[in-house]
Amino acid sequence: MTATQGNLAAMSRYIVGTPRWYASVALALALAAVTGVAAFDSAYLLDDAWRGVFFIGLPTVAASFFTATVDRRLGGQMTPDRSSLLALVSELLVIVVLTAAAILSFLLQLGQQFVLDALLVALAAIFALRLLVLMAVSRGPLLRAAVPASIQTVVAAVMLFVYSGTLYSLQVGGPLLQTFLARPQEAPLQLQYAVYPFDFLLLTVICLVHASAVWAFLGVIDRPWRSSLGVSVLDFAQGFVGYIAEGTSELEEFFEEIGEDALVPVTVLSFRRTDGDEKARFVLPMIHPGPMGDIGGGNLPVKVARATDGLCFPPHATAGHDFNLVTEREVQTVCESAERAYQRIEYAATATRGVRLTEGQATLTGQAFGDDALAVSTFSPSPADDVEYAVGLSAMAKASAPGLDDILLVDAHNCNDGLTGEDLGHVVPGSERSFDMIDGAERLGKRLRSLDQHPIRLGTAWDETPWDPEDGVGPLGIRVAVIEAGDHRTAYVLVDGNNMEPGLRERVLAAVDTVDLVEVMTSDTHVVNTVEAENQVGEGIPDDAFVTLVRSLIDTAVEDLEPVEAGMASEKAEVTVFGNDRTETLASHANAMLPMATALAGAFVFAVFSVSLLIFLIASGTLP
């Protein structure tokens, strides 16, 4: 990925998983109790804690339980877990504002009315916060989102009305009405007869000001996305947060909106035993396994492997993030194309010896099986990342020119130095390295075409490894295929990871002495990138342990050698991918949005609080 795309992936560090609703509610009640002890001064400590739970925690509990229900009734997508977390954050905001107001009131002798005014501002602020989140999560219009967004504020306002005795100042209602709607005797001294009907009118006005600010803020940050991508930033934010926090698939719906149709080759190299049973299969769709996790084709290698009979090797193709599948459903289309290709394979019992050559910075390793060929390209020890689709197609065409039919061209994807700098080693059309690879592929094709072929023996080995995605290794672990043609053995090592630390490949090559040629590849699985944007093979595991395991697997594969036949075929799959330049455009907008939205939000918050203060000053008669 590019630096821009890396910065986008790295945004996942700002997002935490959504806790279960009961955990959020329990924490909210505990905080309310502690705040009650600090804020109220009755004769009993437990009484203070109970008052905190009642007056501070009850609106939070009501918002936790009813926000998701009301939102979903109105066509939204709020979940109970998200609803409870939002209510908890809103409670924290109220506590912070009241604490700050109490300290200022004590230091500046501003009086209790200042604290109550701050409470009204805090209630309006949490309404604005909840409105912003609900509009982003549920994608509803402002008026519809305002209904569930107002629950916490309305419940708190009703409690203020009842327990401050506001009804008495209205001079309405009989004894029965006053019994239920006027209970100042049950409230702390700070609330008794301290709130007037006009205060609730002020609260309504301030809430309208805050709602207008939310609407304007979302409109400003959304405009660049709609003008360039034709989609809303809220759709992206909703999907991105939903996937990282709760594992939802909403992000795929966003990607479908920006996706483009594409035809991609799917090439299959199969090895079968003499009795006809398949022993191993290389499957290479020219698709990038992204964008991350299980979204789109992020877990493509595992899904392809599960769809095969023999031990499957799904290496990385020559394709970048513009060829990410937009939804997980598209993987099925790829697997169906691979199966059609497999059914058309014509097998041959001979292959050439493995060949390795260097062209500029490109190193290519491969061998021919009948009239088809396997080729693996790497730029190691120079750092590199994805090879663009057009470069791969050109290299395949050059490799087949000498008379070969199908070419399975692998991007080894085995040396990268991280997400630093603007040039992360992408091999793009017109670059010097693209011509190194294309010219090298042509030389390799000519070389393979000129070599004699010999009977084939194949040995395989597989270890899921003791490592997991947090360590940079996916569920397919490490897979090894040793191909013997005549007296020459070539080992292909596939690690289910996303690129490798510089120099690790060279350590493996230097440590193995039981075969003639070794090449190490990664699948570029993106299941390891929900942990962090980087997380390459070798970054989180000891080099010695990795090299020892690979060497052991190669030895095991050598012991497993047996006669096989090999054949290759290709099919084209029609799928929906991100599309040309869409990934970079999306990443650029997302990266620009974060600092811009932060600064803009700060400006809006300052403006809204200034307007709120002005309203209070005018209402109190301080200003004419």
Amino acid at 295: I
Q: Tell me what pLDDT residue 584 has.
A: 64
Task: Provide the 8-state DSSP code for 189.
Answer: T
Task: Provide the 8-state DSSP code for 56.
Answer: I
Q: Tell me what pLDDT residue 193 has.
A: 43
Backbone angles phi, psi at 406, to 5 degrees: -90, 140
Q: How far apart are CA 74 and CA 128, in angstroms?
A: 19
Of the CA atoms within 13 Å of residue 316, those in its CB half-sphere come to: 34
- Worst-scoring range by mean pLDDT, 327-336, 354-363, 446-455, 554-563? 327-336
Q: How confident is the model at residue 479 (pLDDT cuts 50, 70, 90)?
A: very high
Average pLDDT, the chain: 84
Instruction: Report the alpha-carbon angle 3-358-431, nearest 5.
Output: 35
- Worst-scoring range by mean pLDDT, 77-91, 257-271, 287-301? 287-301
User: Which of 218-222, 248-252, 286-290, 349-353 is most confident?
Assistant: 349-353
Query: For the segment 282-307, what is each residue's pLDDT rounded down to a tens digit?
Result: 999 999 987 766 677 778 899 999 99
Q: Average pLDDT of 260-270?
A: 94
Q: Find, among 66, 68, 96, the residue nearest to 80 by Cα.
A: 68
Other CB atoms within a 10 A radius of the CB of residue 13 amount to 11
- Worst-scoring range by mean pLDDT, 266-275, 378-387, 533-542, 570-579? 533-542
Whose tokens are 């970054």? That residue is 539
Q: Return the SS3 of 562.
A: strand
Q: Find, among 471, 13, 498, the residue nearest to 298 by Cα.
A: 498
Q: Tell me what pLDDT residue 164 has.
A: 64
Whose tokens are 């991280």? That residue is 418
Q: Are 609 and 120 in contact (CB under 8 A)?
A: no
> pTM to 2 decimals?
0.74
**233-246 vs 250-258: helix crossing angle, rounded to 10:** 140
Q: How confident is the model at residue 475 (pLDDT cuts 50, 70, 90)?
A: very high
Query: For the segment 55-74, what is each residue's pLDDT rounded down to a tens digit?
Result: 788 899 999 999 999 998 99
Other CB atoms within a 10 A radius of the CB of residue 555 amount to 18
Q: Average pLDDT of 533-550?
A: 90
Q: Does residue 253 carry a pLDDT above 80?
A: no
Q: How confident is the model at residue 598 (pLDDT cuts 50, 70, 90)?
A: confident
Q: Does residue 547 carry a pLDDT above 60?
A: yes
Q: How confident is the model at residue 195 (pLDDT cuts 50, 70, 90)?
A: low
Q: Does residue 548 carry a pLDDT above 80?
A: yes
Q: How confident is the model at residue 373 (pLDDT cuts 50, 70, 90)?
A: very high
